């Protein structure tokens, strides 16, 4: 069984998609061992509790320095003994020590077709605002491994979503979630859980 820990900052819609996919068998060979949020008011913690998944808050605000936070944060992650760490809307910079320790064992979902509208400053609605401002016709989502850069790790899966006339950032965000994020994130976890994902020279291969 793949031991999965999920890190989240907000409402946890992607977390819910993962929970549902494990429940209905879309994700196989997987156990959700814990949820960690940097925000004690994150509804994601409630979602986890509703499904008897251990959940806790570890916030940088509770520590005098980022170094102290990083140390405790990494300890809490290590305690879960995860085989895979999923960033599902986690708005905290991952410590480099953690990236090194869990090389190619941390994945992130980003609401664009990387390399478009990604990197520093592109998160949440800002991604969709930028896409609409640029007038692109197709957007989407990307699941990728996490490395030391911002949205620069090896790409696992991508799914395109069409922009429609009259879209607002909020409407487009919801469509990207429903049509892309909530589909490819569970799919990527299932592929990893069943040993179908390999990384070589910064590129991902998926066994059929």
Q: Which residues are catalytic?
A: 110
Closest by CA to 90, choosing from 106, 67, 72, is 106
Q: Cα–Cα–Cα angle for 126, 130, 132, nearest 5°?
A: 120
Residue 151: φ, ψ to 5°: 65, 30
How many CB atoms lie under 10 A from the CB of residue 3?
16
Cα 163 to chain centroid, rounded: 23
How many CB atoms lie under 10 A from the CB of residue 98?
18
CA Rg, the chain, in Å? 16
Tokens 């409407």 found at: 171
What does DSSP say about strands 155-162 and 197-200: parallel, antiparallel, or unpaired? unpaired
Cα dihedral 164/166/170/171 (nearest 10):
-50
């Amino acid at each position: 069984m793949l031991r999965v820990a999920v890190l989240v900052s907000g409402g946890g819609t992607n977390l819910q998609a993962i929970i549902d996919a494990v429940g209905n068998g879309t994700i196989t060979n997987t156990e959700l061992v814990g949820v960690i949020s940097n925000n004690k008011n994150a509804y994601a913690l409630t979602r986890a509790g509703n499904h008897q998944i251990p959940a806790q808050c570890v916030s940088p605000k509770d520590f005098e320095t980022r170094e102290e936070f990083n140390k405790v944060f990494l300890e809490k992650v290590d305690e879960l003994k995860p085989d895979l760490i999923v960033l599902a809307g986690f708005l905290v910079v991952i410590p480099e020590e953690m990236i090194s320790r869990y090389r190619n064992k941390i994945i992130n979902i980003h609401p664009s077709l990387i390399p478009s509208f990604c990197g520093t400053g592109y998160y949440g609605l800002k991604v969709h605002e930028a896409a609409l401002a640029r007038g692109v016709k197709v957007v989407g989502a990307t699941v990728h491994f996490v490395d030391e850069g911002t949205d620069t790790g090896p790409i696992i899966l991508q799914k395109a979503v069409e922009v429609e006339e009259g879209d607002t950032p909020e409407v487009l965000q919801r469509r990207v979630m429903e049509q892309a994020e909530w589909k490819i994130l569970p799919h990527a976890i299932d592929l990893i859980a069943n040993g179908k994902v390999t990384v070589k020279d910064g590129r991902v291969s998926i066994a059929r």
